[in-house]
Amino acid sequence: MRNRRAFNAEFKARVVLEVLSGAKNAAEVCREHQSKPQLFASWKAQFVENAPQLFGQGRSQDESSQRISELERLLGQKTLELEIAKKASDILRSHQSRNGKL
């Protein structure tokens, strides 16, 4: 019994791009790689189906990194405000203790 060949994702993408770019047609690619047209059609369908997700990932990562930057900025601001409040509290306590009101 003959073993099935396994094709990695990079190979499949390269083959599909050869056809989509117009460098070769589907029949040429199938002959060259000794594969069935149905297999190539399946790869092409997967490629086209998943293409929008590729473009969406960049945007979601950009949005996520912008959100993270904004949250880091807010955290820094709140940390600074807390430090100022602590120093003001210490100053008020020392004034009150000098005046004997503590």
pLDDT 10s digits, 39-68: 999 999 999 888 888 777 666 677 888 899
Angle between helices 9-20 and 37-99 (to 10 degrees): 110
Mean pLDDT, residues 22-41: 90
Length of the chain: 102
What pLDDT is recorded for position 57? 64
Q: What value does the mean pLDDT of the chain take?
A: 86
The two three-digit tokens of residue 36, written as one number: 């069935």
**Per-residue confidence at 102, pLDDT binned at 50, 70, 90?**
low
Take residue 3 and report the two structure tokens written for it.
């073993």
CA end-to-end distance (rounded Å), the chain: 93
Distance of CA 17 to the CA centre of its chain: 23
Within 10 Å of residue 27's Cβ, how many Cβ atoms?
11
